[in-house]
Amino acid sequence: MSLTNLEEVVNICDGLIVIGSAIDINPKNYDEQPISEIHKMTEEIDTLDFSIIKAFNNVNKHILGICRGIQSINVCFGGSLYQDIPNHKLPKEERYNVKFEKESFLYDCYNIEQMLINSLHHQAVKEVAKGFKVVAKSEDGIVEAIENKNIIAVQWHPEYMNDIKFFEYFINKISNKDH
């Protein structure tokens, strides 16, 4: 995708969803060497993700990250990842508890302080990128969501949980219906 085409895409979109993937982010993007547990990596996907994220962020458009999306967003803005967390890749139907920070997108969306979520990842946010705040953590301390003014990113898959409320809240946010 050329820069001109990317600018055209950004101009016609109200927001961006950065989706999950079974492809890991190359640890070289956060100044680490890959460990043996790293799965398939594709530099082209990392580069494309980072370019698109930056393009939307540069014009203050809202961004939602899901699973690999939180990882891409965090690394794109200077954060790092745990390369492998073997106990966090659970079957799709299993859930565990996360706690939300008050005064966050998630707390405002659900109006609760904790919730059961799924976990389909083996990587996670380690050092949070500058300008972001952690707004949800699992009971074992893993970062499950980060946000800033225009970006919300979660480690879990709300679409697998049929979580319409989450997506409606995001759509309302980008269409300024709630602000």
Residues 6+ apart with CB under 8 A from 103: none
d(CA 111, CA 104): 10
Q: What is the DSSP secondary structure assignment for residue 69, as one 8-state letter?
A: H
Question: Which residues are catalytically annotated?
Answer: 67, 157, 159
d(CA 27, CA 5): 28
Residue with tokens 């895409």, as numbered in its chain: 9
